[in-house]
Chains A and B, each alone.
Chain A
């Protein structure tokens, strides 16, 4: 049962990264890809009807995490206190930027929110990557299951007391940045035409190459900071399908963008995201928050809610997910096709 919930939470987080990932990526490239107000509005319009729904996955994943693993929620949310609150502020700034930019026809107003949109989106991606880096590296949990870590210390690889941001987690943050930027560029290419489309494809290729380079660095670095990450794959080799999915996605990310096949390119970056996140989740399992001192690690067993609670939850959660899938298919179908600025909206 705990394993089902581990998969459920991992699935929701992956959905969040996959979906909000492209609109965050769109925010990160939108100043570089769009050269005038019309093109910028086109980019905002390309994510306008869906970004809010994409973000709901974060809230729903947070709620499900709290529900399925209350101790993990209490421990990680209080332990990552400052970075989480900063993430909140960035989410707010960015949400306001998307929603408010179109409300006043004033170039200063638009420029201000463009900058806020870029700033919020980019930093969020780096923070999410760094958060994943922290989970992989392990945190200094005490015997009660709580920890406190400073935001940063000295960034040294040999530091006794690494901060939440250190060389490794920032590296993962950068990898997340190049990955989701390419993912977002693929989405924009899919939704636009002409100059904007061509520019997005070039950006996608550039960031895909950077992603490949960073993957080459980050993979050995991960096994260096957390050697136990290999165990899962050695014990259960069928899990290797996940890194292979990531590799296939990476190949597609590099080969597809310039050939004009925007949809396959978007799916390729999606596959890379899923493959990487899936591999991480697979390697971390059955832990949910690894500790520096392995005894104190939170696992699916010691962090879970009661059996009854989990069983009841499964019933409504399944119904909720089916409904969510219906809404998403509906909304994405209704707003499919290239962006048309003549329609009402944003």
Chain B
């Protein structure tokens, strides 16, 4: 069973991480497409409408990838984690089923209408569909985050005499305080992703001297939403989310920060490598007292280190958790710097001519994906060794009768399929991008000839 546990964990980690690359982009993009379409409805500027269509096509391909890679996740609760599903089904199945009953039906109905209904049903229906697609994808996000938030911070249940649990407060689950900050933080991350892609592609078009009118729109919308969203990630959502972690999962916070000993006051480790055997940080670069202040708004507050908790309740992969967290925070800080600078240039009217800034924006495209993945890893590794924090341990959750060989077989199968799907996705993206936002059959514009 040990092996089956390990391979099942690997399989879930692999499939969920791969899947999440797509929704983190499409949830943000759905909002930006809605913004583009709304600007078109207000101004009548056709370039905005063409932009909405172009990003709609990018959205469609990414959305299909998200749907296709998302189906296995719902199945894996039952196939690989049957004991966990049987134990918590009364609660987490509520939110998972609600995602199906509300968000999926909404999305499936309106994505098709948005993509293929414009000519047939007119602009108002098209705008309305873009709104519904936005609400549907964010609704999906809400139900999934609510499910995850319950695993992070179980609420609204009671323990029965036989040791099982059952739901006793439905609204507590739906309005879990953990969910609020996790949801707002996640959605902000999705917008950061989409904003960087949009601005980066605009920069790419300007640098390659093509599609100038569209490129300026992409830059404008991308940079404005990017600066708002990256600041939003720091405050309020990042700040209050980590206060939540400090309150509900203090051992997780200690591991994230690399804090082995309890300290008063506690500093923040900016750089350094955790040495779990000797319980120290190698090569530390520390800002004194900062952690105490950030968590308790008091420069002298005590912060509990890992030693304060029983070792069997420590997260089981402290170095990876520590690095994920530091990559997320470090990249997030860089995003703020990049976007604030770009927004400043945009405001002064110098962004479109600033080649070095355009280069930075173009090269930045992959990094929000890395930061979001690191953030998700932080949340999930931080929850270990529990599936439902403090309530149900990971090693108890695995399906009882499945051999590690069977799980390995399916893991290899998923890896192979996802590799091919990734290649196809890249081919299709490159094709869309090189074709550009121009509607088919229209004459190519002259470089620099179109006003934004």
Contact = CB atoms under 8 A, between A and B. Distances in A.
With a 10 A CB-CB cut-off, give which of B64, B89, B119, B413 has the most chain A CB atoms: B89
With a 10 A CB-CB cut-off, give which of B96, B112, B119, B406 has the most chain A CB atoms: B112
Contacts of B91: 309
Contacts, number: 207
B257 interface: no
A82 B112 CA distance: 32
B71 A91 contact: yes
B154 interface: no
Interface residues of B, number: 63
Given A77-B78, A345-B116, A85 B410 contact: yes
Nearest to B420: A96
With a 10 A CB-CB cut-off, give which of B100, B112, B399 has the most chain A CB atoms: B100
Interface stretch (A22-30, A141-149, A224-232): A141-149
A64 B100 contact: yes
Interface string A76-110: 11110110110011011101100110011000000
Interface in A298-330: 305-306, 308-309, 312-313, 316-317, 320-321, 323-324, 327-328, 330
A74 B68 contact: no
Interface in B380-428: 399-402, 406, 409-410, 413, 417, 421, 424, 428
The prevalent SS among residues of B at the interface is: helix
Nearest to A316: B98
A344 B96 CA distance: 34
A73 interface: yes
Contact of B75 (A48, A62, A344): A62
A240 interface: no
A322 to B, nearest CB: 10
A285 interface: no
B113 interface: yes
A71 interface: yes
A224 B99 CA distance: 41
B18 to A, nearest CB: 12
With a 10 A CB-CB cut-off, give which of B86, B108, B112, B117 has the most chain A CB atoms: B108
A334 interface: yes
A91 B60 CA distance: 18
A32 interface: no
A305 B89 contact: yes
Interface string A125-154: 000000000000000000011111000000
Interface string B44-87: 00000000000000001100100111011011011110110110
A11 interface: no
B97 A66 contact: yes
B109 interface: yes
A67 B93 contact: yes
A48 B117 CA distance: 12
A81 B113 CA distance: 36
B93 A305 contact: yes
Nearest to A144: B400
Interface stretch (B30-38, B166-174, B180-188): B166-174
Contacts of A62: 74-75, 100
Contacts of A145: 86
Interface stretch (A52-60, A184-192, A207-215): A52-60
23 contacts: A56-B105, A59-B74, A62-B75, A66-B74, A70-B85, A74-B89, A77-B79, A77-B82, A77-B85, A78-B79, A78-B80, A82-B410, A85-B79, A85-B410, A89-B413, A96-B424, A146-B82, A146-B401, A309-B91, A309-B166, A316-B102, A343-B116, A345-B116
Closest 3 CB pairs of A and B: A70-B89, A77-B78, A320-B101
